Copies of this chain bind each other. A is one copy, B any other.
């Protein structure tokens, strides 16, 4: 079996037959220097709108590169409409959330400030870079949108009623996750995971009273925020999302 080096890039530009894409310096550096790819090397590209395309690499000048689109590989597909709302936590763990949530197919990464949130800033650019890399690696056709951090109250005040808010509720009283997700009506959803200190009691009461809230419990062990986010995402995809689809075979191998 002929297995060319597997290179896969997310790009911003529109993808159409015969198009040539000048690559930004960091992607040119990655292909030419890090991966030592030469003229004609096949590269898969996607932009979140136009499906996945096969392209050929052309070095330009001393350090530049462009890609020539050759043929479509896969059409753009609908993906689960699932947001992840999470309180910013320590850097290693927030990086982890961005990577794993991308692999597990969230459409939006939304940092939220809750009453017990310790961190006051979020590096959106960093989260986006991690999401792009994870999307390239896991054969996704899209990159989750990283939204600017917001106060949870503000976000909930303008919440679209039809979007279910799955509340990861370590305070007890949530319905077991498999039972709650099996009963969830189809439609847009969001998962909300609190900060390491949990929600404030008044906040928890208010959250549970929201008409679109679905409080779920994740079992007897008290999970870290990042573990809880991931475990709930995995269960959502298995029970309500695209978990029944077969793995995408690698586009270039």
| Chain A contact residues, CB within 8 Å of chain B | 96, 99-100, 103-105, 137-140, 170-173, 176-179, 217-224, 227, 230-235, 237-239, 241-250
Q: Which residues of chain B come closer than 8 Å to A220, judged between CB atoms?
A: 139, 242, 245-248
A-B CB contact pairs (8 Å), 28 listed = A103-B223, A103-B224, A104-B223, A105-B221, A137-B222, A137-B224, A138-B221, A170-B247, A172-B247, A176-B243, A176-B245, A177-B238, A178-B239, A178-B243, A217-B243, A217-B246, A218-B238, A219-B238, A220-B242, A220-B245, A221-B247, A221-B248, A222-B248, A230-B231, A231-B233, A232-B234, A234-B234, A235-B235
**Is B241 touching A238 in the complex (CB atoms < 8 A)?**
no
Q: Among the listed B231, B233, B237, which residue makes an inter-chain contact with A104, where contact means beta carbons less than 8 Å apart?
A: B231
Q: Which residues of chain B come closer than 8 Å to A99, judged between CB atoms?
A: 227
**Is A219 touching B137 in the complex (CB atoms < 8 A)?**
no
**Is B234 touching A139 in the complex (CB atoms < 8 A)?**
no
**Is B243 touching A219 in the complex (CB atoms < 8 A)?**
yes
Q: Is the interface of A mostly helix, strand, loop or mixed?
A: loop
- Rounded to whole Å, the gap between the CB of A1 and the closest CB of chain B is 10
Bound complex: CA A238 to CA B240 (Å): 14
Bound complex: CA A96 to CA B230 (Å): 13
Q: Which 7 A-B pairs have the closest CB atoms?
A: A231-B234, A176-B244, A178-B238, A220-B245, A234-B234, A138-B221, A219-B243
Bound complex: CA A103 to CA B242 (Å): 25
**Is B104 touching A138 in the complex (CB atoms < 8 A)?**
no
